[in-house]
Amino acid sequence: MTTSRAYYWMVLPALLLFLVFHTVPVLQGFYYSLTDSPGYGSYGFVGLRNYANLFRDDRILDAYLFTFRFAVVATVLTNALALAVALGLNARIGFRTALRGIFFIPNVLAILIIGYIFNYLFANSLPAIAQALGITALSTNILADPGLAWLGIVAVATWQAAAFNIIIYLAGLQTISDDVREAATIDGAGAWRQFRSIVFPLIAPFFTINMVLSLKNFLQVFDHIVALTNGGPGTATTSVSLLIYSGGLEGGEYAYQTANAVVYFLVIVAVSAFQLRVLQRREMSA
Amino acid sequence: MLSRSVNPWLTALMAACAMTVLVPLYFTVVTALKQPAELAGAGFDLPADPQWGNFATAWRLTDYPRAALNSALITVGAVILTLLTNSLVAYAIARNLHRRLFKGLYFYFVSALFVPFPIIMLPVIKQTALLGLDNQLGLILLYVVYGLAFNIFLYVGYIKSIPRALEEAARTDGAGTWTVFWKVIFPLLAPMNATVGILTFLWAWNDFLLPLVVLSSPSARTLPLVQYVFQSQFATDYTTAFASYLMALAPALLVYLLAQRWVISGVLRGAIK
């Protein structure tokens, strides 16, 4: 009896803190989303009006479009590059440990600070190099171009996130025994064929983890944007997270942006669940 | 036999790819050591006369010791408290998963993984301000509490694989549940503790959004937050800015260089669990 009482005491403080700092804010969020609170002072209950307005607001629509376009492209690019680098690291190369160590570096660096460094590179170094080489498309700051700025954010996000995915793919590749690949080579399977029919199916679970985590993280993009464009030029690179932050805290739209956050939460859960299902089904059939 | 030998072309190609990681870091170092007049052009050349004074300027301007101390305090506090508490909670849950209450608790904590921070951000700001936790202590508490979701998932999976026979031997010797945890289980959790410690360290040290919205006093600012706050003052003074960035990145880089194998294997264990 005393044993089980000890177990209750072990979880009770954590449960209380979690209730106070996580569950209560979630419920408060839902509650405020039904009001017209500007974040301070008195407010009234407005039902679902905030939600109805969200769907008519071009700013919100643009933020979702940008966030999805960015997240999908960055997820695909990050995973394609990470898989290619992991395959290279797993092949018969020299200095493997040192190279693996280098590729992982971006994962330990603060995204915000990396963003500031790349901000300077995009604004000054890249145009200087492009002018010297006569590439007119890159001879100006791409972050100042409403049509191209998002690609700069994709580049920095990919640079930083690939580090983590490379390590995961490499761990997956190392679970494949040499015998399997040797047998395939003896059977006359070429490199691409081996990858398609043997290697990729065997690392499919790692692919699933990486795709789901990458997309979930990229959909919440914030630090990169603060450091690179702060949502601009204009509102060309305003992500949903940034809009919730700036509108909710500085724009007097506390209740409205809380409603936006609720919708955003549902979108992220739906996307993750959908992705998990599709990718796991493919794992089965592969 | 032939396939065992090193492929020099592929090695060269991979080394070239690794340059995409190293070149921006090299650029940061040389820019931090230049004079403003040297900044024209692409900027990849070495500084003519290394300006070590840039670091001193950045140090004074951003009050580096204070920001570094805040970051260190918050990170170390979050790591230690997370290791001590999250493992304990996970132990109680893992050993009682057959009971409906504890199984429910498990899913309750883990489900928080799907809640994006922006949905709780605005209410949490009000709450921490109300409770007087808009400071370093509050931030430590939030990292410990928000870490529960993922850490309980990691720890419970690991604890389930520890045979109960080890605990029962201690129990027959008269040890209570608390003693069993601290004397028998906690030492056995070492590999998972390393993983949770490293992940918490990287999160708390590099985080920007939570310090941005929670901390109210300028004297509590962390290293990333200081870079953000000083952007407007850096605006025309890029060499000082880069010296400041480099000093902010250096501690994490140094820790990684010293404990590289450990960090990578720790992160791996967390992802593949």
**Rounded Cα–Cα distance for residues B209 and B72 (Å):** 17
B60 is written with which tokens? Answer: 């004074």
Using the predicted structure, report yes or no on whether residue A137 has a pLDDT greater than 80.
Answer: no
Task: Return the residue matching tokens 């569950």.
Answer: A23
Task: Return the residue matching tokens 């090193």.
Answer: B6
Q: Which of B14, B202, B207 to mutate to test the interface with A (most CBs of A within 10 A)?
A: B14
Using the predicted structure, report yes or no on whether residue A212 has a pLDDT greater than 90.
Answer: no
Mean pLDDT of chain B: 90
Residues 46-65 of A with CB under 8 A from B: none
Share of chain B above pLDDT 90, in %: 66
Q: What is the pLDDT of residue A85?
A: 95
Using the predicted structure, report yes or no on whether residue B85 has a pLDDT greater than 80.
Answer: yes
Answer whether A143's CB lies under 8 Å from A228's CB.
yes
Work out the average pLDDT over A18-27: 94
**Rounded Cα–Cα distance for residues A121 and B24 (Å):** 8
**Contact across the interface for A108 and B119, Cβ inside 8 Å:** no
Contacts of A127 (CB under 8 A, 6+ apart): A138, A139, A140, A141
B37 is written with which tokens? Answer: 């007049």
At A71, the pLDDT band (50, 70, 90 cuts) reads very high
Answer whether A226's CB lies under 8 Å from A115's CB.
yes
Work out the average pLDDT over B9-24: 93
Amino acid identity of residue B144, one-letter, is V
**Helix B8-32 × helix A96-104 angle, to 10°:** 40
**pTM for the full predicted model:** 0.91
Q: What is the pLDDT of residue A161?
A: 95
The alpha carbon of residue A236 is apart from the nearest alpha carbon of chain B, in Å, by: 20
**Rounded Cα–Cα distance for residues A239 and A223 (Å):** 11
Q: What is the pLDDT of residue A166?
A: 94
**Contact across the interface for B253 and A10, Cβ inside 8 Å:** no
Mean pLDDT of chain A: 89
Query: Half-sphere exposure (CA, 13 Å, Cβ side) for A236?
Result: 17
At B59, the pLDDT band (50, 70, 90 cuts) reads very high
Contacts of A151 (CB under 8 A, 6+ apart): A142
B214 is written with which tokens? Answer: 């929670």
Q: What is the pLDDT of residue B116?
A: 82
A94 touches chain B (CB under 8 A): yes
B19 touches chain A (CB under 8 A): no
**Contact across the interface for A24 and B249, Cβ inside 8 Å:** no
Contacts of A44 (CB under 8 A, 6+ apart): A35, A36
Q: Which residues from B are below 8 Å from A99, CB to CB?
A: 14-15, 18
At B1, the pLDDT band (50, 70, 90 cuts) reads very low
Using the predicted structure, report yes or no on whether residue B181 has a pLDDT greater than 50.
Answer: yes
Share of chain A above pLDDT 70, in %: 98
The alpha carbon of residue B107 is apart from the nearest alpha carbon of chain A, in Å, by: 12
At A229, the pLDDT band (50, 70, 90 cuts) reads very high
With residue A164 as reference, give the H or E element that holds it: helix A149-173
Work out the average pLDDT over A76-102: 93
**Contact across the interface for B89 and A129, Cβ inside 8 Å:** no
B21: left (phi over 0), alpha (psi -120 to 50) or beta: alpha
At A1, the pLDDT band (50, 70, 90 cuts) reads very low
On whether ipTM exceeds 0.85, the answer is yes
**Rounded Cα–Cα distance for residues A262 and A265 (Å):** 5
Q: Collapsing DSSP states into helix, strand and coil, what is residue A135?
A: coil
**Helix A2-18 × helix B100-110 angle, to 10°:** 30
A78 is written with which tokens? Answer: 């990050």
Amino acid identity of residue B258, one-letter, is L
Work out the average pLDDT over A201-209: 88
Q: Which of A28, A37, A100, A112 to mutate to test the interface with B (most CBs of B within 10 A)?
A: A112
Task: Return the residue matching tokens 């040389």.
Answer: B30
Nearest chain B residue to A97 by CA distance is: B261
Work out the average pLDDT over A47-69: 93
Using the predicted structure, report yes or no on whether residue A53 has a pLDDT greater than 80.
Answer: yes
Alpha carbon of A239 to those of A19, A63, B205: distances in Å? Answer: 29, 5, 24
Within a 10 A sphere around the Cβ of B268, how many other Cβ atoms?
A: 16
At B95, the pLDDT band (50, 70, 90 cuts) reads very high
Q: Which residues from B are below 8 Å from A4, CB to CB?
A: 96
**Rounded Cα–Cα distance for residues A168 and A93 (Å):** 19
pLDDT tens track for B30-51 = 999 988 888 877 888 888 888 8
Nearest chain A residue to B143 by CA distance is: A21
Nearest chain A residue to B96 by CA distance is: A7
Q: Which residue has the higher pLDDT, B222 or A91?
A: B222
Q: Which residues from A are below 8 Å from B105, CB to CB?
A: 11, 15
**Rounded Cα–Cα distance for residues B34 and A248 (Å):** 41
Q: What is the pLDDT of residue B45?
A: 85
Work out the average pLDDT over B215-236: 88
**Cis link prior to A233 (omega < 30° from 0)?**
yes
Q: Collapsing DSSP states into helix, strand and coil, what is residue B43?
A: coil
**Contact across the interface for B208 and A226, Cβ inside 8 Å:** yes
Q: What is the pLDDT of residue A285?
A: 65
**Contact across the interface for A171 and B272, Cβ inside 8 Å:** yes
Answer whether A125's CB lies under 8 Å from B27's CB.
yes
Answer whether A158's CB lies under 8 Å from B21's CB.
no
Q: What is the pLDDT of residue B2?
A: 44
Q: Which residue has the higher pLDDT, A137 or B32?
A: B32
Using the predicted structure, report yes or no on whether residue B268 has a pLDDT greater than 90.
Answer: no
pLDDT tens track for A151-199 = 999 999 999 999 999 999 998 998 888 788 778 778 877 788 888 888 8
Q: Which residues from A are below 8 Å from B201, CB to CB?
A: none
**Contact across the interface for A88 and B15, Cβ inside 8 Å:** no
- DSSP structural state of residue B7: -
B4 touches chain A (CB under 8 A): yes
**Rounded Cα–Cα distance for residues A234 and B72 (Å):** 37
